[in-house]
Amino acid sequence: MNTPLSLILFRLLLAPIILLLAYFIGENAKIIIVILMYLGLISDILDGIIARKQNISSPKLRRMDSQTDMVFWVSIGLATWILYPKLISDNSIVIWTILGMELACYAISFIKFKKETCTHAFLSKIWGITLLIAFTSLIGFNHAGIPFYSAVIIGLISHIDVILIILILPKWTHDIPSAYHAYLIRKNINFKKNKYLNG
């Protein structure tokens, strides 16, 4: 049984379920949506760790993981918009800024490597945690505030890091902890990846 693949497919399946709950049940489903969001993040943490432990991590699996992450978080964002459109509208400028940065990462990667970005960088993982806290506040309490803006700041920093990684890397590869590590790769300097931080 390919446990990492099962966890990725589980997270992918959560995306339409979350959207359907938000659209058809509305605010009454917000607790369930938050729980599913946490389960999704847990699956994201475990799939990489297990893949490395079982020595079945591959570029194909890591790319699938990255794209599933995108679908999952976009579904959370759309669910938030369905539940609280005014909350999203009031913060639309910063939301579009983050989305623009995300698109920039993909565009630069496609232009340079003809492939999507798949860095799984450390700062991106930190951003995932801040997103979890922000969406807990947004969906669970209809509140943006510090959790939301903290996620925005970390998101901007992490996207800059990803863009630098793409620009520095001499060729496409996956699981690059930071722009510094991309520089080490460019200079052919070996480094050891942490199986927990780069899973």
Answer yes or no: is 199 within a domain: no
Answer yes or no: is 193 within a domain: no
Answer yes or no: is 197 within a domain: no
Instruction: Give the chain's domain count.
Output: 1
- What pLDDT tens digit does each residue of the chain (199 aa) get? 689 999 999 999 999 999 999 999 999 999 999 999 999 999 999 988 888 788 887 888 989 999 999 999 999 999 999 999 999 999 999 999 999 999 999 999 999 999 999 998 999 999 999 999 999 999 999 999 999 999 999 999 999 999 999 999 999 998 999 999 999 999 999 887 665 455 5
Max Cα-Cα span within the chain: 54
What is the domain range of residue 110? 3-186
CATH number of residue 142's parent domain: 1.20.120
Long-range contacts for 69-72 (Cβ within 8 Å, ≥24 apart)? 69/11, 69/44, 69/128, 70/102, 71/12, 71/15, 72/11, 72/12, 72/14, 72/15, 72/40, 72/44
pTM, two decimal places: 0.91
Answer yes or no: is 120 within a domain: yes
Answer yes or no: is 192 within a domain: no
Answer yes or no: is 83 within a domain: yes
Answer yes or no: is 9 within a domain: yes
